[in-house]
Amino acid sequence: MQTIRNREFGGERPLYASHDLRLEHVTIHVGESSIKESSNIEAEDCRFEGKYVFWETYGFKVRRCYFAESARSSLWYSKGGHLVDCQVDAPKMFRRMQGIEVENTNFPNALETFWDCSDIQLRDVSIAKADYAFMHCENIRIDNYRQDGNYSFQYARNVEIHNAVINSKDAFWESENVTIYDSEINGEYLAWYGKNIRLVRCHLTGEQLLCYVDGLILEDCTFGEDANLLFEYSTVRATILGNVTSIKNPTSGHIAVKGKVGEIIFDKNQKQPADAVIITDNDV
C-alpha cells in the first residue's frame, strides 16, 4: 500500500482512480472529485475541503478526519465506507451507498444525510440540522445516538435503534419493520402510515403520535403530557406506563394503560372493525 504524508492537494481529481492508498496528515483543498473511482483507501488525520471526495469508491476507512462544510456531498455512490472519530461539518453526505459504518462521529450540519443507502451501522453518533435524514434507507442498526432534525427515517425499512434521543417531526413516516429500544422520541406525527413498528421502554412526546400504523407494538412505554390523540386508525397492542392525555379511534387491538387516560374518543367516522380494547386505571 502506497502512503502519502503531509501533503496538500487541490483542484480537479488530484488522486483520481487511486488504489491501495494510505493518506496521513493530508489536506484536500477546495476542488472536486479528489479520490473518485478509487478502492482500498485509508485516511488518518486528514482534512477534506473539496466536494465529491469519495464518489464511486470501494472500501475506504477514514479516522480522525475533518470534512469542512465546503466538502458537501463527499460520500456518494460508494460501497464499504467506515468513519471513526471524525467531525463532519458538510451536509448531504452518504447517498446511494451500501455498507456504511460510523463510530464516535459528529454531524452538526446533516441536512439530507443518508439517502437511499443500505446496510448502515452507527454507534456513538450525533447529528443536527438533520432534516430528511435516512430517506429511503434500509437495514439500519444504531446504538447511542442523538438527532435534531425533522422528517427523518421516512420510507426507511428494517431499522433497529438502541439508546437514542430523536427530536424529529414526522419521523418514521411510512417506514416498515422498525424496532426502537430505551429511547426518547420527541415530535409530532410519529410513524404515520408505518408498518410493523415496535417501541420498547421508550418515552414519547408530541401531538397525534402513531396514527395509521399497521402492526404497532408498545412495550412499557411512557408519554409526555403533550402526547395526544394517539393511535388513530392504527392496529395496536400496547402496554403503557403512566397517564395518557387522549386516545382517538384505534382500529383494533389491545391497549393497557397503567395509569389514567384523560379522554378516549370513538367518533362516528371510526374505521371498522373498531374493536380495540382499552383497559386503564380509570376502570378500577
Per-residue pLDDT band for 17 (boundaries 50, 70, 90) equals: very high
Tell whether the model's pLDDT for residue 280 goes beyond 80. yes
Question: Which pLDDT band, with edges at 50, 70 and 90, does 284 fall under?
Answer: very low
**Which pLDDT tens digit goes with each residue over 76-114?**
999 999 999 999 999 999 999 999 999 999 999 999 999
Rounded average pLDDT over 27-46: 95
The grid coordinates listed for 153 are 427515517
- Residue 283 pLDDT greater than 70, yes or no: no
Q: Are 218 and 240 in contact (CB under 8 A)?
A: yes
Query: What's the pTM value of the predicted model, to 2 decimals?
Result: 0.94
Round the average pLDDT of the chain to a whole number and report it.
95
